[in-house]
Structure 1
Amino acid sequence: MSIDWRPTAEIATLRERARLTGQVRAFFAARQVLEVETPMLGHGGSTDVHLDSLSCEATTSAGRERLWMQTSPECHMKRLLAAGSGPIFQLARSVRDGEVGKRHNLEFTMLEWYRPGFSLAALIDETDALIREVLPQDPGPQRRHRYRDLFRESLAIDPFTASIDALRQLAGTRGDLDMAGAERDDCLDLLMSLVIEPTLGREGLDVVIDYPASQAALARQHRDPEDGEWVASRFEVYLEGLELANGYDELTDANEQQARFHEDNAARRALGKPQVTPDERLVAALRSGMPAGSGVALGLDRLFQLALGRDSVAEVMAFSTPSA
């Protein structure tokens, strides 16, 4: 049997990738943002119900331990912030189980950076500037959209006030699925991915803000001025129907962070998903005092895919997971 040993990206593409990576590093060097490296393995994994962490058994100074492959460098980088690092960025190898497709790979490169003292609006503008630095063509104007307004415009429904029955019916119809018993966020995620996301970033760089509070993850929350509804202080950036970046006004409350870890694992249990060990070192770092500020994670392979005009992330990686 013949084994295909060849790279999934052309060598010329890899040269272009190296050039673009240099541009990214120069972008942050000009802004005096420190490049750091953090471990791919940690004692805690991501408890996020929408992410699936991989783990391994390893021999350490403490003996045989279960270590978690990091779905992003977030927890380690926040520990650096708490230790006084100042603004930092990283080109991190990240691993997520089940991430397969033209836009996904089990192993990928996450560009993540943190800006102590930055507002979310300031970080949105810096993310916009970074994307424009890498793309060979002008992506068009930046446009900001409130999450609930997108649902109102595209689906004639308010995602915050609609009944769960209405959301299940709409999601089932749009997805041609049986959504009976589905949770609220499951319905919203399906509608977002099937109906709204494909339309975003077609006439510019679209930024979505004010997500439901239930989707805050590791972000702060604030009140929607329209009706006082709690919303997540986060944003996502889209271009050509592709999600490129996800940013937060970072949560700094240790007790709230610990509570969210427990809530995530409870949700995982309810769905029959395996439990994930929370990163207690992050909680300890927050107790010691992490400076207020904002951070963002950007899928570098996706950005390079768009910049180089390729059809999949595999075409800008030396070896995608199936061929590795």
Structure 2
Amino acid sequence: MSSEEFRFQPTASLAVLRQRSLLLRKIRAFFEDRDFLHVETPLLSRDTVVDRYIDPVRVSESNVIAGGSQDPGHGDANFFLQTSPEFAMKRLLASGATSIFQICKAFRKGESGRRHNPEFTMLEWYRVGDDLLKGIDLLAQFAKFVFDVNQVATITYRDAFVAVVGIDPFSASIEQFAAACEFNGVDTTSFVDDQDRDSWLNLIMSEIVEPKLGVKHPVIVFDWPTSQAALAKIRCDDHVYAERFELYVNGVELANGYHELLDPVELLDRNEWVNQQRLADGIAALPLESQLLEAMRHGLPACSGVALGIDRLLMVLLKKESIGDVIAFPIDRA
């Protein structure tokens, strides 16, 4: 810290913060021009996304509601700061909303680094009636609009692996994964289970494949493995691919989209499986039941949705190296 820099000051310059304001205005215009409704949903909820690699910030109910819960079934339960507004936004879809977007804060425990901050800004949108291809098309329109480009490429997850690593992610052996990591100088010593295919795929994707994606122009990667479906539908004709798609620009993952899962029984099964993985990883399980499951049992309409990190987007647009360059007060100055 220089002698003229004080900790009360923002890490992002005022010029960058003006660019941030303009970007947010531009994003709102994009969706409002397409008749999307801007919505707001709770940041604090008893529900949370159940994900193997995302840990929510827990808040004791006794710190939220005076006297604690009046429902003996809850006890002094946890609330969660939301890792994404997904659950609540889908509850709106199940209640009759059709095209919605939200720009809000999201929180993920332990995520700090050059591209991460525990508190960050999320853009999320959903449109009823969109399938995988329409979801990809809307994301491509958004990328063209924001980056002022004429081309957004698409490539399958398999083809991206083959092009960069030279192996098929769906059929390669653990030994081939290990050899690819060794050849590319990727450290594998942090694995909890070196026989877990998804751990190898995530490592190779993040360390070897991602840096090569979207360098010439934005690219959307689709047809992910079913083991990484999260809340995406599984392709019904082959059960090999999840209808998931992600946007990359200059080697940075910016957005994650799904042709959304509609089956509450399947979601509950996935939640149970993810919790087994979390426990095996030494991480606490998360609630299986949620108001999203209740909404899905009532009837969630067919739709596609996308979540995008605003801070990373601005980093890429302005060619900044750290998330602290595009937000006023990262966690070490919060």
Post-superposition offset of 1:205: 1.0
Shift of 1:167: 2.4
**Equivalence map 1:245-324=2 (5 Å):** 245-324=255-334
1:80 aligns with 2:92: yes
Q: SS of the counterpart of 2:288?
A: coil
For the residues of structure 2 that align with 1:101 and 1:132, how far apart are their CA atoms?
28
Of 87, 92, 103, which residue of structure 2 is paired with 1:91?
103
Root-mean-square deviation (Å): 2.0
Residues 239, 302 of structure 1: CA spacing in aligned structure 2 closer, same or farther, 3 A cutoff?
same
CA distance in 1: counterparts of 2:320 and 2:307, whole angstroms: 21
**Identity across aligned pairs (percent)?**
41
Deviates more, 1:4-13 or 1:87-96: 4-13
Give the corresponding residue for 1:193.
Answer: 206
Q: Give, in angstroms, the shift of residue 259 of structure 1.
A: 0.9
* 2:142 maps to which of 107, 111, 130: 130
| TM-fit CA distance, 1:185 | 0.4
SS at match of 1:114: strand
- After superposition, the Cα gap between the structure-2 partners of 1:308 and 1:170, relative to the gap in structure 1 and judged at 3 Å, is closer
Contact 1:131-1:303 within 8 A present in 2 as well: no
Measured after TM superposition, the shift of residue 51 of structure 1 is 0.8
Counterpart of 2:64, as a letter, is: T
- Alpha carbons 2:135, 2:259 under 8 Å: kept: no
Of 286-295 and 20-29, deviating more is 20-29
Q: Is 2:91–2:295's contact at 8 Å kept on the other side of the alignment?
A: yes
The amino acid that maps onto 2:142 is L
Tell me if 1:55 matches 2:63: no
- 2:18 corresponds to which residue? 15
Secondary structure of 1:153's counterpart equals helix
Residue 119 (structure 2) pairs with residue 107 (structure 1) = yes
Long gaps (5+) in structure 2: 71-75
- Cα shift at 1:82: 0.3
Q: Give 1:242's aligned residue.
A: 252
CA distance in 2 between counterparts of 1:3 and 1:55 reads 31
Q: CA–CA distance in 1 between the matches of 2:89 and 2:289?
A: 12
| Paired letter, 2:84 | S
**1:290/1:236 Cα in 2 relative to 1: closer, same or farther (>3 Å)?**
same
Contact 1:8 1:318 in 2 (8 A): yes
Structure 1 residues 281-290 or 121-130, which shifts more? 121-130
Q: Which residue of 1 aligns with 2:31?
A: 28
Identify the residue that residue 73 of structure 2 maps to in structure 1. none
**1:221-278 deviation line (CA, Å, top 9, x unaligned):** 1157xxx451110100100111111100000101111111111101111111111123
Check 1:181–1:304 CA distance in 2 against 1; reply closer, same or farther (3 A cut). closer
In the alignment, which residue of structure 2 is the partner of 1:157?
167
Letter in 2 for 1:270: A
Distance of 1:95 and 1:188 partners within structure 2: 25
CA-to-aligned-CA distance 1:124-167 (integer Å, 9 cap, x gap): 222222233233x53x6211111111222222211111223432
3-state SS, counterpart of residue 35 of structure 2: coil
* 1:119 and 2:124 matched: no
Q: Which amino acid aligns with 2:129?
A: G
Paired position in structure 2 for 1:209: 222
Deviation of the 1:52 alpha carbon: 1.2
Pairwise CA distance, 1:172: 5.0
Q: Which amino acid aligns with 2:83?
A: T
- Aligned residue type for 2:101: F
State the Cα distance separating 1:308 from its structure 2 match.
2.8
The 10-residue stretch of structure 1 (285-294 or 56-65) with the greater mean CA deviation from structure 2: 56-65
Does the 8 Å CA contact 1:43/1:279 hold for their aligned counterparts? Answer: no
Task: Report how far residue 317 of structure 1 moved.
Answer: 0.9
- Residue 221 (structure 1) aligns with: 234
Q: Give the aligned residue type for 1:176.
A: D
1:33-65, Cα deviation, whole Å (9 max, x unpaired): 000001111112222101111101133272543
Q: What number of residue pairs does the alignment pair up?
A: 319
Structure 1 residue ranges without an equivalent (≥5): none
TM-score (ref. length: structure 2): 0.90
1:223 to 1:150, Cα distance in 2 relative to 1, 3 A: farther
Q: Which residue of 160, 181, 189 maps to 1:171? A: 181
